[in-house]
Structure 1
Amino acid sequence: MEACKTPTSSAACDDTEKCSQSSSDSFAKVESGKLEFAFGDPRNCGITLHYFTQGFVVGGIDSILVNVLAGYLNVPSNIQQGAVNMANLPCAFAVLLGILSDARPIFGYRRRPYMAGGWLLSAACFAYMVWLGLPAPYYCFAEGQYLRNQTPCNPDAADFYVWPIVCLCLSQLGMTAATASAQGLLVEYAKAEPEKTRGRTQALLQMVGTAGSFCAVVLVAFGFNGQMFTGSFSQRHQLSYPEFLAIFAVLQCIAGLSCIFCVREHSGARASVREYARSSFHLLENKAFSAVALYFFANSSLFNIATSAGLWVSLEWAKVENMQRQLSSLFGMLLTLLGCWLTQRCLLGVSWRKILFGACIFTNVLDMFPQFMTIFDIVRDQYFYLGEPLTRNVPIAMSNLVTQFLVNELADEKNCALVVGLLTTIGAVGQPLSVLLSNQLFSLFTPDLFLRENYVKDTPAFRWTVASSFLLSYSVSFLGMAMLPLLPSQKLGPRKLSL
């Protein structure tokens, strides 16, 4: 499960002045004065904790999807991809949640109640998962290892994934509501910054989110690294599944309470939801915004196709255990932190197209060498293998930054969450399509890429099949760079973006 990619937009069109004038009377009015963000201000600690907690959840959720679903329950990789897709489904409702945040204040505030309510809903879902627990593992477990060569002790365990995924889906709904509101507020903060440095606060808070992911990965590497969950440590000295989830629930409760009392925002009045819906339609009619929307949709669907072989290449051929997988994630996060720091220090004026192009090329080329050397048994070492975290985390982080910068220019003070939600929804609608296309496309490969048994046999012909699936994935990713001209190259001031 990933955090929804949340750009924000507000009506930026060639005829935007007309758009905003026609609906300005219907939009919520805010108090005069601009908001400012400062890390040292206690009144800002709520939104800082929001980003830290969001990063923590995103960084730690991979251990549930891999360690529990693939390792403990032995769920096939194609079903696991579909389950992850279902867990991310609430991202498609980000535009509706953004409209609610803009148009329907609660107790006079448009952001804090939705942020707090979202986190408390997510905490309740994790608490239910704690109560639910886990059945006995799929394979028999003895002397610190699974007996995969024997008949499974609990073959029904593979079907248990349904309820955890439902809980993660509802948890994602809460996170989407909180994030749509927080991103809307963050755009208001960004608009108070000078144009030359606009986006610095967003880059810094993305670093806070990455720091949260870093902490979660450290916890997984040293606290949830038991042998029953693809780990290397004795299970007796590691956190149990309920204990691990309880940490998430407690942190989400703290984030929710802090959002009630420690978030600075102007109060707002109720506005017409119908006018907000009409405004979102006018946005999609605009040529400039439509080009940006097309990029987000194509990038999250057609050019997000990935081979399903990566999971078993990592677990079966590279023998990557939980600790080493988390170290790989830590390396990716360090690169992300470096990228965010460089962006807010030196790259705020650099072409957004160049940033995205460089991130894609660098991470994919860096990933090719360990992947193919592992596939063809030249080097099969878990410390050498980098795997998916690097190629996933860095481009996503850079893409999130650029989309936030885009929203700063597209949105006004009255519909920030609407624009964030609209672009988030467009990207989220493409994600199920990418999973569907990936499963259908790679199901044509023979022998089957989804089954672990084929990786255990490890025949030369099957190695070439796996390698060709990776080549196809990389090629599709590189083709996606052809869509970059749809994005503006840089900010040219509010409502002056040109393609």
Structure 2
Amino acid sequence: MVVGTLPGTIYPFLFNYLNMEGTQVMSATVLLNMPWSFKVFFGMLTDCVPIWGYRRRPFMVLGWTLCFTMLVAMTCMDAGAPYYPDDKYATMDPHDLTPEMIATFNESAHHVGGKFVFMMMIAAIGYVAADVAADAMMVEVAQREPEATRGYTQTTLYMVRTAFIMVSNILTGFAFNGKEYGGDFNFSLSFPQLMLVLSIYCFPVIPISWYFIQEDVHPGIIFRDYLAELWHLVQMRPMYQVIAYKFLAGIFENFSVTCFDPMQAYWAKVTPLNEKMMTIVGNGVFAITLYFTGKYGLQWNWRKMHAVTIVSVVVMEFIVTMLTTWDIARNQWFWLGVPVAEALPNGIAFVIATFVMVELAGEGNEGAVYGMVGSPLRRDQHRHCR
């Protein structure tokens, strides 16, 4: 819920409500995604530093506690008035705006967004820390599965995660589709009210992470020996090839433009509700793809499938971006429909990459290996779910 909702507020709240510039909105997106890039360090911490003899559960509790604290803090903050007192001003030609109209704009709205972005980033650090510990435990379980069915556990977990991200999109789609958010509803929640809802969802996860998860006591590990073993693993050909690929893929597959949200709002004229509805459909396709790939894709040629999926996504992204840029097809359903189609190759690529990570991880370094190889992967899934 939290992982799907916080990034989902960027377009309706930061861009439409506060009217922050495209560069600021893109910076907010980068800041929310940045903690995923440090998964390897969170993984090393949870591998090497057991708390009360446990390596995973305490970090899950601490992570969700930090996230919950930030959500409560944002609940108590004032979002202020929207930048435009009347939503019709947002779509008017700048030359048609009179000095009297401009005088009614809330110029301080731009400055309000910064503190919310900062606190959302801290909340993201919390749920990433919890996610790393949970992923490391998932790797331990997945490695115990029979070879013929290995991958079922991780596929099931990611299906559940995607399902709740769909729920979060429904929440933000209806709660943030008021006219002040660029939608067409006469009702909406304020940003602090939405944070209150997330706080209510987040709080039970803290005791659940401790009392409902079974973990064996671990004596700890000598950090020097841990680094030596990890370095030996990194020097193995399969490992450094995958790391090199993930590093380069993280660079070339995650290029973004600062004008993405302005294009979506002013050229494609996308409403928050329609954006969330199509995101829900895309996540549904993504979840179904996870299931069928996990069930039937274990014996596929992973290299060829990964290459095919990457080329497919690039071609589809190119078509929709170019046709919208050159005013050949500026339609919100065309703009939103192509990412739904991309969910199929993205889902296949995502599952294949998680299979590879489970096979590479060794005993005792599950968190670091999964974090090292999976950082670009989680950013990509996170961007897709947004």
Question: Same fold, TM exceeding 0.5?
Answer: yes
Displacement of 1:267 in angstroms is 2.0
- 1:306 and 1:183 map into 2 onto residues whose CA distance is 27
**TM-score by structure 2 length?**
0.87
- 2:6 and 2:338 map into 1 onto residues whose CA distance is 15
* 3-state SS in 1 of match to 2:216: coil
- 1:197 and 1:242 map into 2 onto residues whose CA distance is 45
Name the amino acid aligned to 1:406.
V
**Number of the residue aligned with 1:217:** 169
Greater percentage in helix? 2
Matched residue count:
373
**Number of the residue aligned with 1:295:** 245
Q: CA 1:428 to 1:380, structure 2 compared with 1: closer, same or farther past 3 Å? A: closer
Segment of structure 1 superposing worse, 245-254 or 382-391: 382-391
Displacement of 1:75 in angstroms is 1.6
**Number of the residue aligned with 2:358:** 408
Segment of structure 1 superposing worse, 120-129 or 102-111: 102-111
Of 305, 319, 323 in structure 1, the residue corresponding to residue 273 of structure 2 is 323
**Number of the residue aligned with 2:54:** 109
Question: Which consecutive residues of structure 1, in runs of 5 or more, have no partner in the other structure?
Answer: 1-55, 432-499
Deviations 1:194-248 (A, max 9, x none): 11111111111111111011111111222321111122201xx322211211222
- Asked if the contact 2:36/2:128 (under 8 Å) is kept, the reply is yes
- Asked if the contact 1:73/1:137 (under 8 Å) is kept, the reply is yes
Q: CA 1:143 to 1:418, structure 2 compared with 1: closer, same or farther past 3 Å? A: closer
- 2:378 and 2:255 map into 1 onto residues whose CA distance is 14
* 3-state SS in 2 of match to 1:160: helix
Q: Does 1:333 align with 2:296?
A: no
**Number of the residue aligned with 1:96:** 41
**Number of the residue aligned with 1:346:** 296
* 3-state SS in 1 of match to 2:102: coil
Q: CA 1:372 to 1:75, structure 2 compared with 1: closer, same or farther past 3 Å? A: same
- Asked if the contact 2:183/2:273 (under 8 Å) is kept, the reply is yes
**Number of the residue aligned with 1:241:** 191
Q: CA 1:392 to 1:101, structure 2 compared with 1: closer, same or farther past 3 Å? A: farther
RMSD: 2.7
Q: Does 1:140 align with 2:85?
A: yes
Q: Does 1:61 align with 2:61?
A: no
Displacement of 1:358 in angstroms is 3.2
**Number of the residue aligned with 2:178:** 226
Name the amino acid aligned to 1:422.
M
Displacement of 1:67 in angstroms is 0.8
* 3-state SS in 1 of match to 2:298: coil
- Asked if the contact 2:357/2:374 (under 8 Å) is kept, the reply is no
Q: Does 1:170 align with 2:122?
A: yes
Q: CA 1:179 to 1:429, structure 2 compared with 1: closer, same or farther past 3 Å? A: closer
- 1:415 and 1:322 map into 2 onto residues whose CA distance is 42
Question: Which consecutive residues of structure 2, in runs of 5 or more, have no partner in the other structure?
Answer: 381-386
- Asked if the contact 2:47/2:55 (under 8 Å) is kept, the reply is yes
- Asked if the contact 1:367/1:387 (under 8 Å) is kept, the reply is no
Deviations 1:59-82 (A, max 9, x none): 222332111111111122222222
**Number of the residue aligned with 1:46:** none
Q: CA 1:333 to 1:142, structure 2 compared with 1: closer, same or farther past 3 Å? A: closer
* 3-state SS in 2 of match to 1:306: coil
**Number of the residue aligned with 1:276:** 226
Q: CA 1:91 to 1:274, structure 2 compared with 1: closer, same or farther past 3 Å? A: farther
- Asked if the contact 2:57/2:213 (under 8 Å) is kept, the reply is yes
Q: CA 1:324 to 1:428, structure 2 compared with 1: closer, same or farther past 3 Å? A: closer
Q: CA 1:362 to 1:424, structure 2 compared with 1: closer, same or farther past 3 Å? A: closer
Q: CA 1:394 to 1:310, structure 2 compared with 1: closer, same or farther past 3 Å? A: farther
- 1:338 and 1:59 map into 2 onto residues whose CA distance is 18
- 2:343 and 2:377 map into 1 onto residues whose CA distance is 17
- Asked if the contact 1:367/1:391 (under 8 Å) is kept, the reply is no
Of 81, 92, 99 in structure 1, the residue corresponding to residue 26 of structure 2 is 81
**TM-score by structure 1 length?**
0.69
Name the amino acid aligned to 1:310.
F
- 2:113 and 2:142 map into 1 onto residues whose CA distance is 41
Segment of structure 1 superposing worse, 275-284 or 154-163: 275-284
- 1:145 and 1:420 map into 2 onto residues whose CA distance is 44
